[in-house]
Amino acid sequence: MTPAPADWAEASAEQIAESVRGGKVSAEEVTRATLARADRTASRLATFLHRMPEEALASARGIDEGRSRGTTLGPLAGVPIALKDNICTRGIPTTCGSRILEGYHPPYDAHVVERLRAAGAVVVGKTNCDEFAMGSSTENSAYAPTRNPWDLARVPGGSSGGSAAAVAAREATLALGSDTGGSVRQPAAFCGVYGLKPTYGAVSRYGLVAFASSLDQIGPFARTARDTALLFNAICGRDPRDMTSRPEASPVRLEALEEGVKGLTIGIPRDILSGEGIAPAIRACFERAVAALTRSGASLRDVTLPHAKHAIATYYLVATAEASSNLARYDGVRYGLRAKDGNLTTMYEATRGAGFGREVKRRILLGTYALSAGYYDAYYLRAQKVRTLIRRDFSEALEKTDALLFPVTPTTAFGIGEKVDDPLSMYLNDIFSVPASLAGVPALSFPAGFDEAGLPIGLQLAGRPFQEETLLRVARAYEATDDAAARRPAIAKEGS
Amino acid sequence: MTEAARPVADDPKAAVRARYEPVIGLEVHAQLKTESKIFCSCSTRFGAAANTQVCPVCLGLPGVLPVLNERAVRFAVMTGLAVGSSIRLRSVLARKNYFYPDLPKGYQISQYDRPLCEGGAIEILAEGERKRIGLVRIHLEEDAGKSLHPEGKEGVSTTRVDLNRAGVPLIEIVSEPDLRSGAEAYHYLTKLKQILVYLDVCDGNMEEGSLRCDANVSVRLRGAKEYGTKTEIKNLNSFRYVEKAIAYEIDRQIARIEGGERVVQETLLWDSARNVAETMRSKEEAHDYRYFPEPDLLPLDLTESWIEGIRESLPELPDALRERLVREQGIPEYDAEVLTETRSLATYYEEVAARSGQPKLASNWIMTEVNAVRNKTGQPIESFPIDAARLGDLVGMIAGEKISGKIAKTVFERMLEDPDGPAAIVQKHGLLPIDDEAALRTLAREVLAANPGPAAEFRAGKEKTFAFLVGQAMKQSRGRAHPEKLQAALRAVLAEEG
């Protein structure tokens, strides 16, 4: 076992849980160390919408008391975790980064929150995100834009930017985000941490505030491949409250992650890599990673994803259509913001007008249009057909390969404000993350290197449904050859 | 002879009306009798305090997901099978999007292009003729909540929302435009309700909103191929309102056409206090519901064997039961129709018939005496004070000539209050028939002595007076005298004394 770290905020979840279970450190001590980090950096980074130091310490003490009474502690005992603010927490504000839910306290915990509490994790706060998870930079948060810990003038990615940044800055050991078209993977890449989008149906969505129901998945952020697995294991599995959750979802065997890549075939989707717009540093990083994996014993195979080029268009029809319906409930009648205004219709208009930000409104309009009489067949239905083709592309490409390797994003983190007025260029940032979402397959963003400006580069592995284990095994093999995941942003070194 | 040339009464309105053919289709919402709601475990019980039967799911809170209630699917499939629908092995739940304060999610989960049941028919008896009313579909959906508009202070209008009903399972039963009058619509609804209650999938209670009906009405000249422009009437809270509103709307549409105007496609609200239908919204204001498959629920896949299991366990339905009663009991079709109004009435009848061994007499007694009392009190047969065994005994006594029909009615009335059997009641109240010849002669002598005048008239040849004397004697015996034997005794005494 690794010796006790100088600062528990730097420790892996695995080490914390083992140490807490073994009595080498108290959950309270770990929690205090992590809270102290966040005290120094969270306000500058705007990682959290709601911090919960009192609750975190109380739950840490509960774990320590449990240990002293001889209770068996869970696999995440004492591990500080941050939750994206679109995951419902009982009695704790859950705003989805939106004004329309300002002050809203859900009366129930999401399935994943129940599972995390049962596993002994300590929730330290609710993280900032693009409003209703709609965005790629966390600039669409109604409260504040989160900053990238590697360069405070840049975005952390989005929509789960707060979660990614919190893990990178050591304000939490682990975090949960949600990924609809890349909202876990892209910020993970921008912040230099691991981010997994599980197979659609692997993790219950009960308690995840819906953006696009057929795409949304809750996914883990962590600083090591093994921690990613640990967190995924804590939350995956069938939940009777989510009819789209699947019994096939099974935990990753941690020992399997150490088996290396010998015997595995990595598919390289050359067609999607041939396009313009991939930053040279990312291309170079990709080639280095391919070489490293080959050296470790993986074989390569070229594959194609011929319909992936339609993924963005398809995604922005399917996701916005579902969103237009999912967001209809924010009407000012039962909870959240209600504008005081005249009759029912004007109350609706004023509430939604004041409560939703520009990007949310844009997507509601797009989705409403796509579902409208006379347009449904041309847009929504056709998008569903293309989606089927994209799904088929993945299943064919993965027939003779174990995982596909490609970038997460065409560029590293862009500057705050750089793309806010250009939604199309913002949408195109998701070009590599959206296909796996539409296909419903698992996809992992892992830290693979840095560009010339010292910004993290993430690469993506996509696999067969419910084969999260394979993706993490490849990423773990890469981790053993490269220090990208081990590097810390300067802000995380302050005071330590 | 064409319909239009058919002679009509001299009512000029009727003559105009006869030139048109009304075309009516009904959409009926039936609340399924499940314990819990369609997508959560909240109770469906009616009448609880507002917003006490709610949870995050049926409140539509952020982050919740629906879980389909299997029993609701079963009940919908039972209904489909009972009316001969074909059941889709894969049907799809869909979102119907619209804003309303009592619709918590901003959409209703319903079914759109792939409903659970398609086709089928309901047979009605209208003006003595059996007629098949085709069905388009039966689909599953959730109910919305209820908006309440209490009197506000100083004219301030407030709306309160009760979400106890939100998420209660419904089936929507859509008929083909096969109905031709308000009366047919009434019969259709009665029959549909009867089937639902026989299946025990709906309690059929319109007051509590367990059955709701919207009517689509249009008219066209007889013989025309094209349908006329239709209107939809809502807020029809009883079968009689449906009948009335349809009749009203048929006349209104005909009057418009006759006046050279066109019928406008619109939705009307029936005002039962004023007996008029008023515009609720026009076609231009019609919602675009933006239906799309509900992504939170997978397609609903059923297996043949599951459906067959339900088919085999279906209870006997009214049509089959009616035919069986005609066949087994030898009673007229009309009787069987009346007696199969509810499954329990038919069971009651079968028990009375079996116990008395008198199928037709049993039927007569239930249709007249029993139903007369029930019509007055509104009692269902289950709580009728005379159970089938006691009524069977009474009918048996009449058939065995132990008592006359007249006495039987007296006994029946006492049985409504007195839990004893009919024989005991006859004993207790001295209602035994008098058929002993000596006793009847004594009675005859007493009556003649008390009525010397009429007796003399009879003897003088006025035969009509005899009926009066029989009546007097019967009265004195309190109806107990055996009628033929009493007459014989009277004639004998009159002859011997004459």
**Mean pLDDT over residues B270-276, rounded?**
92
pTM of the predicted model over 0.80: yes
**Mean pLDDT over residues B448-475, rounded?**
87
Confidence band of B280 (pLDDT split at 50, 70, 90): confident
DSSP string spanning B278-345? EEEEEGGG------EE-TTS--EE--HHHHHHHHHTPPPPHHHHHHHHHHHH---HHHHHHHTSSHHH
In a domain, A324, yes or no: no
Residues of A in Cβ contact (< 8 Å) with B290: 324-325, 368, 371-373, 376
For B249-264, the pLDDT digits (tens) are 999 999 999 999 999 9
Nearest to A213 among B59, B104, B295 (CB): B295
**Mean pLDDT over residues A71-80, rounded?**
97
Distance, CA of A229 to CA of A196 (rounded, Å): 9
Distance, CA of A57 to CA of A49 (rounded, Å): 18
Judged by CB atoms closer than 8 Å, whether chains meet at B104 and A334 is answered as yes
- Burial of B149: CB neighbours in 10 Å, binned 0-12, 13-18, 19+: exposed
**Do A18 and A60 meet the contact criterion of CB atoms below 8 Å apart?**
no
Judged against a pLDDT cut of 80, whether residue A116 lies above it is answered with yes
Nearest CA in chain A to B293: A322
Nearest CA in chain A to B108: A325
In a domain, A352, yes or no: no
Q: Which helix (H) or strand (E) element contains residue B145?
A: none
3-state helix, strand and coil shares in percent for chain B, rounded to the nearest 5: 45, 20, 35
Judged by CB atoms closer than 8 Å, whether chains meet at B104 and A328 is answered as no
Nearest CA in chain B to A208: B63
Domain holding A38, by residue range, is 8-306+389-492
Judged against a pLDDT cut of 70, whether residue A496 lies above it is answered with no
Judged by CB atoms closer than 8 Å, whether chains meet at A329 and B106 is answered as yes
Distance, CA of A401 to CA of B414 (rounded, Å): 89
Judged by CB atoms closer than 8 Å, whether chains meet at B99 and A334 is answered as no
Nearest to B63 among A110, A214, A376 (CB): A110
| Interface contact B167, partner A, CB < 8 A | no
Residues of A in Cβ contact (< 8 Å) with B69: none
CA distance B97 to chain A (A): 7
Length of chain A: 496
In a domain, A354, yes or no: no
Judged against a pLDDT cut of 80, whether residue A263 lies above it is answered with yes
**Do B243 and B186 meet the contact criterion of CB atoms below 8 Å apart?**
yes
| Interface contact B334, partner A, CB < 8 A | no
**Do A382 and A318 meet the contact criterion of CB atoms below 8 Å apart?**
no
If one compares A453 and B448, the residue with the highest pLDDT of the two is: A453
DSSP string spanning B67-109? ---HHHHHHHHHHHHHTTPEEPSEE-EEEEE---TT-TTSEEE
| Interface contact B60, partner A, CB < 8 A | yes
In a domain, A323, yes or no: no
Confidence band of A22 (pLDDT split at 50, 70, 90): very high
Judged against a pLDDT cut of 50, whether residue B2 lies above it is answered with no
For A218-230, the pLDDT digits (tens) are 999 999 999 999 9
Residues of A in Cβ contact (< 8 Å) with B68: 243
Nearest CA in chain B to A246: B298
> Between 3.50.50.60, 1.20.1090.10, 1.10.10.410, 3.40.630.30, what CATH number should domain B437-497 receive?
1.10.10.410
Judged by CB atoms closer than 8 Å, whether chains meet at B63 and A210 is answered as yes
DSSP string spanning B409-432? HHHHHHHHH--S-HHHHHHHTT--
Confidence band of B78 (pLDDT split at 50, 70, 90): very high
Judged by CB atoms closer than 8 Å, whether chains meet at B65 and A214 is answered as no
- Among the ranges given (A39-53, B8-22, B364-378, B448-462), the one the predictor scored with the smallest mean pLDDT: B8-22
**Do B417 and B376 meet the contact criterion of CB atoms below 8 Å apart?**
no
Judged by CB atoms closer than 8 Å, whether chains meet at A243 and B97 is answered as no
- Among the ranges given (A276-290, A439-453, B458-472), the one the predictor scored with the smallest mean pLDDT: B458-472
Judged by CB atoms closer than 8 Å, whether chains meet at B288 and A373 is answered as yes
Interface confidence, given as ipTM, is 0.96
In angstroms, the first-to-last Cα distance of chain A is 22
In the prediction, which pLDDT does B4 show?
Answer: 44
Distance, CA of A183 to CA of A161 (rounded, Å): 8
Query: Mind spelling out the 3-state secondary structure of B27-53?
Result: EEEEECCCCECCCCCCECCCCCCCCCC
Nearest to A322 among B59, B159, B295 (CB): B295
Q: Which residues of A are catalytic?
A: 84, 159, 183
Judged by CB atoms closer than 8 Å, whether chains meet at A371 and B97 is answered as yes
In the prediction, which pLDDT does A354 show?
Answer: 96
- Among the ranges given (A421-435, B262-276, B380-394), the one the predictor scored with the smallest mean pLDDT: A421-435
In a domain, A281, yes or no: yes
Confidence band of A359 (pLDDT split at 50, 70, 90): very high
List the structure tokens of A319: 């996701």
List the structure tokens of A476: 């773990």
Q: Tell me the sheet residues that pair with B140.
A: B171
Judged against a pLDDT cut of 90, whether residue B476 lies above it is answered with no
| Interface contact B62, partner A, CB < 8 A | yes
**Do A106 and A88 meet the contact criterion of CB atoms below 8 Å apart?**
yes
Judged by CB atoms closer than 8 Å, whether chains meet at A243 and B161 is answered as no
Nearest of A333, A315, A265 to residue A439 by alpha carbon: A315
What is the count of structural domains for chain A?
1
Q: Considering only CB atoms, which residues of chain A are within 8 Å of chain B?
A: 86-88, 94, 96, 101, 104, 106-108, 110, 205-210, 212-214, 240-244, 321-322, 324-325, 327-329, 331, 333-335, 344, 348, 368, 371-373, 376, 380
**Do A162 and A47 meet the contact criterion of CB atoms below 8 Å apart?**
yes
Residues of B in Cβ contact (< 8 Å) with A104: 62
In the prediction, which pLDDT does B76 show?
Answer: 98
SS3 assignment, position B123 = strand
Judged against a pLDDT cut of 70, whether residue A35 lies above it is answered with yes
Judged by CB atoms closer than 8 Å, whether chains meet at B68 and A110 is answered as no
CATH of the domain at A474: 3.90.1300.10
SS3 assignment, position B354 = helix
User: Quick check: bond before A159 cis, omega within 30?
Assistant: yes
- Among the ranges given (B234-238, B290-294, B327-331), the one the predictor scored with the smallest mean pLDDT: B234-238
Judged against a pLDDT cut of 60, whether residue B9 lies above it is answered with no
**Do A168 and A489 meet the contact criterion of CB atoms below 8 Å apart?**
yes
For A361-408, the pLDDT digits (tens) are 999 999 999 999 999 999 999 999 999 999 999 999 999 999 999 999
For B338-388, the pLDDT digits (tens) are 999 999 999 999 999 999 999 999 999 999 999 999 999 988 999 999 999
If one compares B283 and B410, the residue with the highest pLDDT of the two is: B410
Distance, CA of A1 to CA of B269 (rounded, Å): 76
Judged by CB atoms closer than 8 Å, whether chains meet at A241 and B67 is answered as yes
CA distance A59 to chain B (A): 24
* Average pLDDT value over all residues in chain B: 92
Among B59-63, B400-404, B438-442, name the most confident range.
Answer: B59-63
Judged by CB atoms closer than 8 Å, whether chains meet at A335 and B61 is answered as yes
In a domain, A321, yes or no: no
**Do B24 and B215 meet the contact criterion of CB atoms below 8 Å apart?**
yes
Nearest of B115, B96, B71, B45 to residue B299 by alpha carbon: B115
For B28-46, the pLDDT digits (tens) are 999 999 999 999 999 999 9
Structural domain boundaries of chain B?
12-308, 316-428, 437-497
Q: Which amino acid is at A49?
A: L
Nearest CA in chain B to A348: B99
Judged against a pLDDT cut of 60, whether residue B1 lies above it is answered with no
Judged by CB atoms closer than 8 Å, whether chains meet at B60 and A334 is answered as yes
Q: Which amino acid is at A377?
A: D
CA distance A357 to chain B (A): 18
Q: Give the single-character DSSP code of A132.
A: G
- At a CB cut-off of 8 Å and minimum separation 6, what does B402 contact? B426, B433
Q: Which residues 67-126 of B are in CB contact (within 8 Å) with A? A: 67-68, 95, 97, 99, 101, 104-107
CA distance A342 to chain B (A): 11
In the prediction, which pLDDT does B434 show?
Answer: 82
Residues of A in Cβ contact (< 8 Å) with B297: 243-244
For A323-339, the pLDDT digits (tens) are 999 999 999 999 999 99
In a domain, A462, yes or no: yes
Nearest to A88 among B62, B97, B291 (CB): B62
Residues of A in Cβ contact (< 8 Å) with B148: none
For B121-177, the pLDDT digits (tens) are 999 988 888 999 999 999 999 999 999 887 666 666 788 999 999 999 999 999 999
In the prediction, which pLDDT does B154 show?
Answer: 63
**Mean pLDDT over residues B188-206, rounded?**
95
